[in-house]
Amino acid sequence: MNTAPQPDPKDRPARLTVGVVGAGRVGPALAASLQLAGHRPVAVSGVSEASRRRAAALLPDVPLTTPAEVLRHAELVLLTVPDDALPGLVTGLAETGAVRPGQLLVHTSGRYGARVLDPALRAGALPLALHPAMTFTGTPVDVQRLAGCSFGVTAPEELRLAAEALVIEMGGEPEWIAEDRRPLYHAALALGSNHLITLVAQSMELLRTAGVTAPDRMLGPLLGASLDNALRSGDAALTGPVARGDAGTVAAHIEELRVHAPQAVAGYLAMARATADRALDHGLLKAELAEDLLGVLADGATTATGRTGAGGRTGATGTEGATGTEGATGTDRAPGPDGDPGAEGIDDPEASDDPEGTGEGTDEGTDGGAR
């Protein structure tokens, strides 16, 4: 339920005609939400067949046309293209005279604030940056998910009330982000949302390899509780072998991953080091246990990059563990299944610049959290 203070009626935007440039996963959903609030979608542009299907599903009977035609017909224009395409799009629209004075121009990029719209501002447009911190599917469920969704809002001070009112009309919660903090804000969302998907997908793959028939059912309650604990308690919610300083268990993990999922080793090591640092800072990991643990992680990293270790560690796991005399740092172990000396690292979830992954071409819109 939206509990944000409702704007005074005089600050609410009038009923507007709405256009969408970039019918990716985000644009049609936002336009559909504005339609529920009484605004009228009048034009959509989209290149790919997937974009056209989305527009037809979420905005039936709204004509598909060119970006210039969208701007010609709409008083409020949503620019929902990938981050890297946005500056060029804005410049092109301004230079061709498509932008009209008094037109509300809204982009949904997490990375950029309002300044990316400066070429349109000089043409008389009213610039707003409204980024929904949400992952989008391109289906009608997205409209429902906007209820209570936070939006990162950046706009000139004189347009702040209008920007916040539009967010509230879409069912969202406005959160003001300073112009110079937009990249940091976006990085935080990508870290929490996109990388979470990569971690969960890797975890499910490993559980299947271990013989678990329903990894989603096994992980669901665990991850739900972990997320809830983290949001409530922050670092105090840390549990597991790294936070406890169980160096032997961590060494065994690394050894098993090296055999069954070498591409996951670099990610495991990076997250384990970050977890150890946070656990130490918050007094959860005892200093006397941290030395062996950090040694295991250092040995694992050395082997992952293909350099010969300085010899096995004797105290952590015994003679056959990952850090023992026959462990991962010994001279007779290949660092990968094919002898590849390089670490493969985490799979890249951001093939395009959308945090939640929309990219089917430059007309695909940016997502929150994700994006």
Q: What pLDDT score was predicted for residue 305?
A: 53
pLDDT at 361 over 70: no
In whole angstroms, give the CA distance from residue 117 to residue 87: 8
CA 266 to CA 263: how far, in whole Å?
A: 7
354 class by beta-carbon count within 10 Å (0-12 exposed, 13-18 middle, 19+ buried) = buried
Instruction: Please answer whether residues 368 and 135 qualify as being in contact, where contact means their C-beta atoms are separated by less than 8 angstroms.
Output: yes
Among 92-96, 154-158, 356-360, the minimum mean pLDDT is found in 356-360
Angstrom distance (rounded) from CA 370 to CA 197: 10
- The least confident of 3-7, 85-89, 170-174, 240-244 is 3-7
> What span, in angstroms and rounded, lies between the C-alpha atoms of 139 and 57?
8
* pLDDT for position 356: 33
Report the chain's mean pLDDT, rounded to a whole number: 83
| pLDDT tens per residue, range 67-82 | 999 999 999 999 999 9
Nearest to 355 by CA among 98, 182, 113, 136: 136
Quick one: tokens of 216? 């989603």
C-beta separation of 323 from 313 below 8 A: yes
Q: What is the pLDDT of residues 203-223, one digit of tens each?
A: 999 999 999 999 999 999 999
In angstroms, the CA 146 to CA 26 distance is 11
Say if residue 133's pLDDT is above 50.
Answer: yes
pLDDT of 336 over the 70 cut? no
- Asked if 360 contacts 103 with a C-beta cutoff of 8 angstroms, the reply is no
Dihedral of the CA atoms 144, 147, 150, 154 (nearest 10)?
A: 90
Q: Is the pLDDT of residue 341 over 60?
A: no
- Per DSSP, 116 falls in state G
User: 135-162 burial by CB neighbour count: b if 16+ within 10 A, else e?
Assistant: bbebeeebbebbeebbbbbbbbeebbbb
